[in-house]
Every structure is written in structure tokens, then in C-alpha cells.
């Protein structure tokens, strides 16, 4: 996909908006089971490199620590959060709006992970705290280095492996957050930094 092929969207803000062109044209949806699906949209976001640099510099990255059983652990990544979308960088607001239009879910908050290098990771989990509805749609935008993204049934079983590149979208749907677990594993070989933008919706925080 080239920039030339992408239509430009009018934007009321003078800051150049990242372009989502024939955006979902290359979407590939995989049915995981009766209730869940995962969709990969390669090349979804044009201008991903610029957005990556902007977020790297401007997001208020924090190092989180949390209790794991009996000990305090330092999370192997940095995090930034926008609980109120109106405080997020304009480009992310624009991206959220387009996801809202497409998936029919009002994405009004988001969090970002920064994987500084191959040592950083996210362990197996479901986004249970932000997805209390039975069925949810959770888009994750990848920026920067490509890293494997794995998903497997909560009860165990073989995992499926994706490798989203910068500008690609991975969307988990249905009961993915309860019946399935996902992770971004550590790597052996050196990789550059990656940012993931995780879109959340207040409407999905409450059970139906």
C-alpha cells in the first residue's frame, strides 16, 4: 500500500492526521471458535513511523510495579494511559474515531505499551478489567518493530502466532478476553522498540 493510493480525510485540526486509506480492505478475520475471532489488518495505518516517533517522545511513559502473588514485580515494559480520550494526542483521537466508525464501539480511552527492546514483554493474559461484557471488540495498533503476538485458549492448547508490523492492526473480538489469552513474548535476538496502542471502551467495562 502506498501513500499515493490512500485518500486523504478532511480533518478539522491543522495537524496532519494519520491516514487510514482503503483501511480495512486487507482485513483478514480468523474465527477462533464459535464465540471468538481475531482480525489482522496489515498496513492499516499510513504514517505509522511518524506516529511512533511522536508517541515515543511525547507520551508520559511510566514504569509500573505490581504485586504478583507475594512479591512486588516491575513490569517488563513502560506504559502510558489516556483514560480520557480528549487528552490523547490528536492523531490517536483520529485513529480511535475511525475504529469507532468501523467496529461500532465507542473507543473513549486507551493505553500504550512501550517494549524498549527484546527483553520487554507482556505475559499471557486477558484484558478482563477493561472488558466485562460477554463479547467485546479490542483493537491493538502496532507501531515500530514487529513483535510476535500470540493467542491461545484459556484452558490451554496450541497457540496461534501473528507478527504485526508497524501500522498493522490486530483486533480481538467476541469472547477473546475470557475464553482466550494473548501475549507478546520476550525474544532472544535484539529487536528495536515497539509501541502498542490498546483501544478501550467505557461501554465494554460494564457487564451486559
Ligand X SMILES: O=C(O)CCC(=O)C(=O)O
Cβ atoms of 135 and 174 within 8 Å: the answer is: yes
- The C-alpha atoms of residue 154 and residue 206 are separated, in whole angstroms, by 21
Q: Rule CB under 6 A: which of 32-71 touch ligand X? A: none
- The C-alpha atoms of residue 174 and residue 188 are separated, in whole angstroms, by 32
Residue 55 region, left (φ>0) first, then alpha (ψ -120 to 50), else beta? alpha
Please report how close the Cβ of residue 182 comes to Fe ion at its closest, in angstroms: 6
Question: Using CB distances below 5 to 8 A depending on partner kind, what does residue 177 bind out of ligand X, Fe ion, none?
Answer: none
- The C-alpha atoms of residue 150 and residue 94 are separated, in whole angstroms, by 27
Quote the Cα angle for 176-115-183, to 5°: 25
- Does 177 help bind ligand X (rule: CB under 6 A)? no
- Does 77 help bind Fe ion (rule: CB under 5 A)? no
Q: Rule CB under 6 A: which of 111-150 touch ligand X? A: 113, 122, 127, 140, 149
- Among residues 20 and 197, whose Cβ is nearest to ligand X? 197
- Does 182 help bind ligand X (rule: CB under 6 A)? yes
Q: Return the residue nearest ligand X (CB atom).
A: 196
Closest by CA to 7, choosing from 50, 46, 48, is: 46
- Does 127 help bind Fe ion (rule: CB under 5 A)? yes
- Does 168 help bind ligand X (rule: CB under 6 A)? no
Site residues, Fe ion (CB under 5 A) = 127
Site residues, ligand X (CB under 6 A) = 113, 122, 127, 140, 149, 182, 184, 196, 198
Amino acid at each position: 500500500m502506498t501513500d499515493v493510493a490512500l485518500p486523504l480525510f478532511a480533518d478539522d485540526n491543522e495537524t496532519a492526521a494519520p491516514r487510514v486509506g482503503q483501511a480495512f480492505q486487507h482485513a483478514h478475520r480468523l474465527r477462533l471458535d464459535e464465540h471468538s475471532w481475531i482480525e489482522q489488518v496489515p498496513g492499516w495505518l499510513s504514517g505509522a513511523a511518524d506516529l511512533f516517533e511522536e508517541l515515543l517522545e511525547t507520551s508520559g511513559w511510566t514504569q509500573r510495579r505490581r504485586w504478583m502473588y507475594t512479591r512486588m514485580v516491575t513490569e517488563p515494559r513502560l506504559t502510558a494511559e489516556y483514560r480520557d480520550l480528549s487528552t490523547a494526542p490528536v492523531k490517536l483521537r483520529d485513529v480511535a474515531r475511525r475504529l469507532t466508525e468501523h467496529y461500532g464501539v465507542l473507543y473513549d480511552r486507551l493505553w500504550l505499551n512501550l517494549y524498549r527492546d527484546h527483553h520487554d514483554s507482556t505475559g499471557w493474559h486477558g484484558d478482563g478489567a477493561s472488558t466485562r461484557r460477554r463479547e467485546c471488540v479490542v483493537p491493538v495498533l502496532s507501531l515500530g518493530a514487529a513483535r510476535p503476538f500470540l493467542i491461545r485458549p484459556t484452558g490451554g492448547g496450541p497457540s496461534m502466532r501473528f507478527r504485526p508490523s508497524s501500522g498493522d492492526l490486530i483486533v480481538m473480538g467476541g469472547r477473546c478476553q475470557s475464553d482466550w489469552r494473548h501475549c507478546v513474548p520476550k525474544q532472544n535476538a535484539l529487536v528495536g522498540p515497539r509501541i502498542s496502542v490498546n483501544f478501550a471502551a467505557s461501554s465494554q467495562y460494564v457487564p451486559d
